Amino acid sequence: MNSPAGAIARAWERVRRPNRDHVEKLKSRVPYWFVVAVLFGFSVLQITLNPFGFSDLTQRYTQDISNLLITGPYLYPTTGRDEVSVALIEEDTLHTLNMPWPWNYSAHKQALDAILAYKPKAVVVDFLFVDSRPDPSLPDLVDEIARYKKAGVPIYFEGGIDLPYGESPLRPELARTGVPILDPSIQVYNGVVRQYPTSGNCYGPNGLMPGSCLSLAPQVYKDNFRDHPLAPLNGMMELVWGTKTEPTNLKWRRYKDDDGNWKRCTETVGAALRIYRAFFDTSTALSHCPYTGIVPVESLIRGDQDPDLTRLLTGRVVFYGASLEGAQDKSFMPVNGLQANVFAHAMALDNLITFQGKPEQNVMTVGPYTLSNNTAQMFAIIPIILILSFMHMRRIRSRKKIGERPERGALVEWFLDKGLENLWHWLAFFLALGIGLFLARWAGLSVANWAQDVFLSVELAAMLLVGVPDSFWGYLHHVAGGRPDDAFPEALI
């Protein structure tokens, strides 16, 4: 029997100077479990360590492309768009009405009163009334809140967050009316709104309260859309952005291009041009006209008689906000470019309505358990690894049979190595895509949270094609003392 010291010395020598011929032959002995372990270990490192920011880049880039090319134009229905509108104050509003900004409370009262006349489902006021500036018309706005209560139309105000001088989240005169006060926080990732918080601060008549409450859009949905109860929200909402602009916007809305020229929102492009722009000229792929229907506030205050106003306001949740030059209340939207944040709130509510209270999230809920994004991706990659590893083992067995029948080996080996190479990558791609779509349908996991597995599956397929697990096993087997003509490695005898 060999001494332990001698066995260790010989093993160290094989580590330093492996017999490459032995390693090459031992590769064919790689067991299925080892292939699975190597691929899973690589996947865990890739998902958890996020090398070079690859995971984040993949997730967000794929999410934007999906919104622009697939989800937005073809898969996302207009269910929510037909339930939500935005009554908007813009530069044109101030110019047309000859009313300088900021408005007094009486002007806001006029706008809200005009909206109330159309009997909306609910109204969300997207302005922060935190400044205790002297204004004798403040009682007018207080009286308007009472009118909404009397009409049975819910009206919501937003509470201030991170106020620099300790101001009340909402002017005490307004807060004392008992009007609901909601947290208007928006999640911005690298300057882009792709997610939406599901919880935020709690506000009461006397200001900030301890604890955590639903954020703006989920609370409005919970109060006003009870046919489909709000599902438990354990993570961030992953916003799906529609691209089919509300037809009324196409009639009248204009925007300025990069050269400062006014253009109408009527441009339509074919699928081929849309794909080219999305990949190679993203700025031109964006629609600068918001998805949500817009009601010009000047039309309301003037009392215009327009059937479009009735359609956009009656029975809908109306966000009353502004989009003004110089205002610090704008963010970049993935399909619409720079827009007022009121459209992010409207899109979040649109998602909740469209998905019947079960929005796409960055977590996966299975029964009573909530899996984080990384954990969900790890579970999602397991069936892909099992299938690819199984097919890889069959490929190894086929090669062994070819070695036993060399007269037929050259052509078949060429077919396996070259003819199936592209098929192998596509198989991995579609396996991951199918599992991802299943997770999106069954568990509400956003495309942003499983797209990395699609790219990762192609990496795994490439590792199998070049034989990474096989080479690793052959080397370890050889170091342990295995020889091509032995059944067991020396170290195990």
Nearest CA to 233 out of 212, 253, 254 is that of 212
Residue 487 or 141, more confident? 141
Query: Which DSSP string corresponds to 249-304?
Result: HHHH-EEE-TTS-EEETT----HHHHHHHHHH-HHHHS-SS-SSEEEEHHHHHHT-
* pLDDT, position 121: 97
Give the residue, 385 or 97, on which the prediction is more confident. 97
Gap between the Cα atoms of 292 and 249, Å rounded? 8
pLDDT at 490: 45
- pLDDT over 70, % of the chain: 73
Q: Which residue has the higher pLDDT, 102 or 19?
A: 102
- The mean per-residue pLDDT over the stretch 347-365 comes to 89
C-alpha–C-alpha distance, residues 58 and 65, integer Å: 11
| Residue 439 to residue 448: CA distance in whole angstroms | 12
Q: Residue 227: count other Cβ atoms within 10 Å of its Cβ.
A: 6
CB atoms within 10 A of CB 211: 7
Q: Are 22 and 379 in contact (CB under 8 A)?
A: no
The token pair at 55 is: 């995971």
Give the CA-trace dihedral at 245, 247, 253, 256, to 10 degrees.
30
Q: Which of 210, 273, 261, 283 is nearest to 73 (CA)?
A: 273
CB atoms inside a 10 Å sphere around CB 243: 20
Instruction: Write out the two tokens for 322.
Output: 């502004």
Residue with the larger pLDDT of the pair 479 and 111: 111
pLDDT above 90 covers a percentage of the chain that reads: 35
pLDDT band at 493 (very low <50, low <70, confident <90, very high): very low
Nearest in space to 236 (alpha carbons), one of 81, 344, 80, 75: 344
**CA–CA dist 284, 275 (Å, integer):** 11
What are the residue ranges spanned by the domains of the chain?
Answer: 18-49+367-445+450-492, 71-362
pLDDT at 419 over 60: no
- Rounded Cα distance, 403 and 129, in Å: 80
Q: Tell me: the pLDDT tens digits for 271-325?
A: 666 666 666 666 666 777 899 999 999 999 999 889 999 999 999 999 999 998 8
Confidence bin at 1 (pLDDT 50/70/90) = very low
Mean pLDDT in residue range 388-410: 66
426-464 pLDDT tens trace: 666 666 667 666 666 665 566 666 667 777 777 888 888
Burial annotation 28-67 (CB, 10 A radius, 16+ → b, else e): ebbeeebbbebbbebbeebbeebeeeebeebbbebbbbbb
Mean pLDDT of the chain: 81
Q: Using only the alpha carbons of the chain, give its radius of gyration.
A: 30
Greater pLDDT, 14 or 409: 14
Asked whether 428 and 422 are in contact (CB, 8 A), the reply is no
pLDDT band for position 83 (cuts 50, 70, 90)? very high
Separation of alpha carbons 366 and 63, rounded Å: 23
